[in-house]
Structure 1
Amino acid sequence: MLTLDLHPVFRNNRDIELSLRQIVFQAKHTGEPVVQIVHGKGTGQLRGRVLAFLNQKHIRRLYDRLEIDTANTGRILVHFAPRS
């Protein structure tokens, strides 16, 4: 499982988007089944930015489904369909 921890870049919108874009494309390219994005619990603003990024049409086509972990609300799991 690939993991992206957004804590080091949470104040910079461009770095957040770049980090998200890189890990999504890396997972898609390598066939990784799940990416864990750690955004932290906080106020929920970072989680909202992550979800907004992931719900863009051109990004949404790259993965199969999202899962907001009920055991740990500070992370989102992005599931990719197996490569054929």
Structure 2
Amino acid sequence: MTALCEHATSIRSHGSLMLTRTLLNAGLIDTIEVTVFPVISGKTGVDRIFDGADDFDLELLQARTFDGHTQVLTYRPTRHS
């Protein structure tokens, strides 16, 4: 996942879910970029990405497909009221 902050230099967060949730809840993330890999994993016990985050509506800004399979989706989060 990529968290981009318009106010300064872009921040890319790869694996720090707590940091991403904290920035999102504080209203400091302007866009969220999610990469979707076409794989099904039967593993259990993995944290869900946004557990502990507030509720947000996501507006799709851009969708790109690479290699005919992998997608990169860019969203603008808006706090759900």
TM-score category by the smaller chain? 0.3 to 0.5
Bigger Rg, which one: 2
TM-score, structure 2 normalization: 0.40
